[in-house]
Amino acid sequence: MTILQKSPDKSRVSFFYKQMIAVMGINIIPLLVMSTMLYTNFITDYKNNLIEVMSSKISLLAATSRSALVFNDSEAATTLLASLKEYTATRYVQIYNTDMELFAEYKRLGQIVDVPAEDYKNNAFFKNENIYLSQRIMMGDDYLGVIVLSANTDTLNVQKNNYLLISSSVLLASLIMAFILNWQLQGRLTAPIRELITLVSYVAENKRYHKRLYIDRDDEIGDLILGVNTMLDTIETHETQLFQRANYDELTELPNRHLLMERLEHGIHAAERNKTEMALLFLDLDRFKIINDSLGHRIGDEVLVQVAAKLSNTMRKSDSISRWGGDEFVILIENVEKVLDVEHIIEKIMLEIDQPMMLENHLLHISTSIGVAFFPQDGKDSLSLIKHADISMYKAKEKGPGKYEYFNTSMLNDSVQRLTIEAQIYKALKDEDFFLVYQPQVAVNSECIIGFEALIRWNLNGRFVPPDEFLPVIEEVGLMYELTLWILAQACKQNEIWQRAGLLPVTVAVNFPASFILHPDCVKNVQSILSDSGLAPKYLEIELTENTFINSRITAVSVLRILQDLGINIAIDDFGTGYSCLSYLKDLPIGTLKIDGSFITELGVSHSNTGIVQSIITLGKSLDMLLVAECVETELQYSILRDMKCDIIQGYLFSRPLTVDDAASYLVKYSLQKI
Amino acid sequence: MSGGCLISLLSLLLYSSVNAENLLSKEDKLKAAYLFNFTKFIEWPTLGRSERPSSIRICVDDSSAFTQFLAKLVANRRVGKFQKTVEVLSLETAGGCELLFVRGGEKKLTIKLNHTVVVADSASVYFPNVAMFFYVKKSKLRFEIDLKKIKSLNVVVSSELLKLARVRS
C-alpha cells in the first residue's frame, strides 16, 4: 500500500501504519485479557475438577474404609487404599484413627509424607505442586478417623501447558485474523484519506488548485472531502483573483505592467530565437489630467475603459495591449516585418481614439501621443525598450497632441535634459525665478495701446528659457494650475499698480490653459485674485486655445459664462489652428478672436492664407467679436490687416514683450499722447 | 452418643464395666464389640419404620458376664438408618432375635429364627443355620459370612462388612 512520504527520513511511520499499530494494540489488549481469562478459567476449572475428582476419591475411600476402622482391620483398609495405585497421580493416602495413630496407608514408591496429618485443613490445598486433601471418616454421628490424600499435579501442569498452548494459539490466530481484517478495513477506510493526502500533496507541490475529489459518501469523511473541495474552490477563486489582480488592470481588464513585462521578456526570447523584430508602442493620452480634474475620476476612469476597448478592437489578438499606469498604455507588436506596418497600426490607433466619445452628456475628444521603440535596434532588453518608447512618447508629446515619434538615441540626451529641466523648474518656483513680460496690444484705428498680453519668462542662470521648452514640462509635472494662478495674480496686481499710478487703464490678457479652466476651483480663485489685487474684472482678459473645448465643452462654457458675467473678457488664442468646428463659436461667451500668428506671417505671401485671415475676421465681425492679429511684424501685414478691418494688432511691429518697467514707460508714453 | 469413635467408646465401656471386663478375655470383648458393629452393617427388612420404636435384639446364649458386657456396650446406642436401639437379651428370655450369638452347642430354642442372623463363636460351634462365625487369623479376630445363609434370611449385609469378612458363597 503506498502512503505518501514527503520526508526522506525512512524511519517516518505513515498514518496508516500508526493507525494499524494503534488498532492492533487495542485489539491485542482485550485478546490478551480474554486469553488470560480463558487460560485462568481453564486452569481453575481443571483445578476444581482435580479437587472434585480427588475429593470423590477420598470420599469413596472414607466411606469404604469405615468398616475396616470399625472392625480394626488395617489390612482391609490398606488393601482399600492400595486401590489408588492405578491412579498414578497419587503420592500417598493414609488413614488415621481417632487417636491420630496411623491405621493404614498406601504410599507410592519414592514418595514421602511431607505434610503431617495434623496440618491438613478442611479444604483441599496445593503445596509444592501437590494437592492435599483430608476427610473425616464418620459412621453416622460417630467419628472413626481421618483419611488424608496427597497427589501430584503433573496432569495439572500438563493441562496448564496444553491450555497455554491453546490460549496462545487462539490468541495468535485471533491476532492474525484481526491484523488481516484490520489491514483490509483500514485500507478501505483510509482510501479516501490517502486520496486526500495525494490531492493535498499535489496542491502543495504544484500550487495548482483545479483538482477535486469525487464525493459519494454521507459521513464525516464525506464532510472532510467536501470541506477540502470547498477550500480548494475558495483558494482557486482567490488564486484566480490574485492572478487577475497581479497581472491585470482592474479598471480596464487589460494586462498590467507585471504581465506586460513577462510577455515582453517572452517576446524578446522568441524574437531572438526566430530572428524577428518587435515594436513597442508607448501611449499616453493627451490632456487626460484635465478630464480627470474637471470631470472627476469617474469619467476619467470611463475614458480609460473606452480607450482600452478601442485599443482592443483595433489591435490583433496576437498583440499585447496593457495598461502601464495612469493614462499610459503599452502595446507590444511581435513579428514586425516593416516599419510601415507599424506606422499603419499607429495611424489606425490614433484614428480610432480620435473618435469623439459621449460620456454623461460630455462629448470628449481624446487623442494620444505615441512613442515607438523597436527590438532589437532600440533596446536589447525589456527595460531598455520600455524606457526608450517612453522617451519617444515624451518627444511626441512635445510636438503637440496626437503625434507619434520613433526612438532615436539623440532622445536620450533630450530625456536627460528634460529631467534636468524638471528639477530646475521646481527650484525656479521655489526661488521665484519666473517673471512676466507684457506685450502691448494696439488698436488699429487709433494706434493706441488698449492692453497687454502677459507672457511668462524664465531666467535660468542668465539664459532665458523659451516657454515652449518648460511649459510642457510644467504641464506634465502637474504644476500648470499653480503657475497660472501665479501669473494671473502677478498680472492683475501689476495692472492695478499701473492704474493706481494714474497710467492709461488697459486690459491685461492672461493665457489660461485648458486644465485651469476645467479646474473645479477656477472661478473661486480668479475671483479671489481679482479681489486681492483690486483690479476691475473688465481690465482682465482670459486667452484660451480652441482645444480647451475639445475635452469638455459644457464645463468650459459654464465656467466661461461665469467669468464673463464677472466682467472678464474672453479671447480665443491661436484661432484657426485648433479645433475647427466653428459652430461652437456662437454658443461661447467669447468677446475676442486672436488670429494665429502663422496666418499673419504669411499675409501678403500666400493668397489663400490672406483669404483665411479675411474669413476669420469676417466671421468674428459677424459674431460681434473683436479681432486681434498677433505676430504682426511688418508694415505690409499691418496694412493688410487694417484693410481687413482687424481691430487690434499685437507684434514686434509695435513692441516686443516688455518688462514691467518698460511696459510702464510704454503706458506713460501713451498716457501723455492721450493728454 | 455423639462424636466418639467406636473404638474409644469400646475402651470407655470396657473401662466402665470393670466387673464384666475382668471376667472376659480380650477376644470376648472384641467379639462383643463385633456383634454390636454387625448391627450397623446388617439391615433387617422386618425392622421397618412401622415397627418403631422396636429395638435390634441381640440374643446371647452365653454367660451373664459376656451378656452384661455387651449390654453395657450397646446401652443408649442407636444404629442403622432408622436409628434403632440395640437390646441385649438372654436366649432363654428372648421373644425374638435379630442377631443370635451362640457359643455353645445346639440348644432347644423357644423362639423362631425367621430373620435371625446366627453368629457362632467359632467354626467349631455346632448350631443350625449359622450365617457367621468368628475365627482368629494371625492373632487377629476375623469372621466368616455364609452368603447363602444370609440370603436365605432375607437380610441385607453391607458390602463393607462383606469386604472385611471371609465370604463363603
Query: Strand pairing partners for B90?
Result: B60
Nearest to B2 among A73, A97, A141 (CB): A141
Domain tally for chain A? 3
What is the Cα–Cα distance from A600 to B155, expressed in whole angstroms? Answer: 177
Sheet holding A368-375, edge to edge: A320-325, A328-336, A277-285, A368-375, A404-406
A603 lies in some domain = yes
B1 touches chain A (CB under 8 A): yes
Determine the structural domain holding residue A96 and report its residue range.
Answer: 13-206
Last residue of one domain, picked from the residues A361, A379, A408: A408
Are residue A101 and residue A134 in the same domain, yes or no?
yes
Are residue A429 and residue A396 in the same domain, yes or no?
no
Name the range with the highest mean pLDDT among A185-189, A293-297, A561-565, B113-117: A561-565
Q: What is the pLDDT of residue A301?
A: 93
A415 lies in some domain = no
Q: Residues B132-147: pLDDT tens digits?
A: 999 998 888 999 999 9
A245 lies in some domain = no
The bridge status of strand A125-127 relative to strand A102-107 is: unpaired
The phi and psi torsions of B96 (rounded to 5 degrees) equal 180, 155
Are residue A547 and residue A586 in the same domain, yes or no?
yes
The answer to whether B63 touches B31, Cβ cutoff 8 Å, is no
**Interface touch B160/A64, C-beta < 8 Å:** yes
Name the residue among A554, A93, A557, A111 with its Cα closest to residue A361: A554
For residue A35, give the C-alpha cell: 486469553
Distant-in-sequence contacts of A379-384, Cβ < 8 A, 24+ apart: A380/A268, A381/A268, A382/A261, A382/A264, A382/A265, A382/A268
When pLDDT is averaged across residues A485-503 and rounded to a whole number, the result is 94
When pLDDT is averaged across residues A479-485 and rounded to a whole number, the result is 90
Are residue A543 and residue A642 in the same domain, yes or no?
yes
For the domain that residue A301 is a member of, what is the CATH number?
3.30.70.270
Q: Residues B82-117: pLDDT tens digits?
A: 788 899 988 777 778 889 999 876 666 777 777 889
- Three-state DSSP class for residue A224: helix
When pLDDT is averaged across residues A327-355 and rounded to a whole number, the result is 92
Name the residue among A169, A159, A312, A342 with its Cα closest to residue A249: A312
For residue A640, give the C-alpha cell: 493688410
Are residue A92 and residue A156 in the same domain, yes or no?
yes
Dihedral of CA A366/A371/A372/A373: which sign?
A: negative
Could you please report the per-residue DSSP string of A158-220? Answer: HHHHHHHHHHHHHHHHHHHHHHHHHHHHHHHHHHHHHHHHHHHHHHHHH------------SH
Minimum Cα–Cα distance from A66: chain B residue: B160
Chain A residues in contact with B137 (beta carbon < 8 A): none
Top pLDDT among A325 and A555 is at A325
B139 touches chain A (CB under 8 A): no
Are residue A452 and residue A389 in the same domain, yes or no?
no
Q: What is the pLDDT of residue A1?
A: 40
Name the residue among A323, A312, A313, A290 with its Cα closest to residue A555: A290
A132 lies in some domain = yes
Phi/psi class of residue B166: alpha, beta or left (left: φ > 0; alpha: ψ in -120 to 50)?
Answer: beta
State how far residue A82 is from chain B, nearest Cα, in angstroms: 14
What is the Cα–Cα distance from B90 to B59, expressed in whole angstroms? Answer: 5
pTM for the structure as a whole:
0.46
Average pLDDT, chain A: 88
Would you kindly state where each structural domain of chain B is located, as residue ranges? 6-168
Top pLDDT among A332 and A478 is at A332
A232 lies in some domain = no
A579 lies in some domain = yes
Q: Residues A141-174: pLDDT tens digits?
A: 889 999 999 999 888 888 888 888 888 888 889 8
Are residue A389 and residue A436 in the same domain, yes or no?
no
When pLDDT is averaged across residues A284-313 and rounded to a whole number, the result is 88
Are residue A92 and residue A165 in the same domain, yes or no?
yes
- Interaxial angle between packed helices A410-431 and A467-477, expressed in degrees from 0 to 180 and rounded to the nearest 10: 80
Q: What pLDDT band is residue A11 in, cutting at 50, 70 and 90?
A: low
Are residue A309 and residue A447 in the same domain, yes or no?
no
Q: Which of residues 31-50 of B touch A (CB under 8 A)?
A: 34, 37, 40-41
Name the residue among A165, A168, A186 with its Cα closest to residue A24: A186
Cell 524664465 maps to which residue? A458
Last residue of one domain, picked from the residues A408, A437, A463: A408
A251 lies in some domain = no
Q: Is the pLDDT of residue A673 over 60?
A: yes
Dihedral of CA A286/A289/A294/A297: which sign?
A: positive
Are residue A543 and residue A609 in the same domain, yes or no?
yes
CATH number of B6-168: 3.40.50
A7 lies in some domain = no
Q: What pLDDT band is residue B18 in, cutting at 50, 70 and 90?
A: low
Are residue A383 and residue A499 in the same domain, yes or no?
no
Q: What pLDDT band is residue A363 in, cutting at 50, 70 and 90?
A: confident
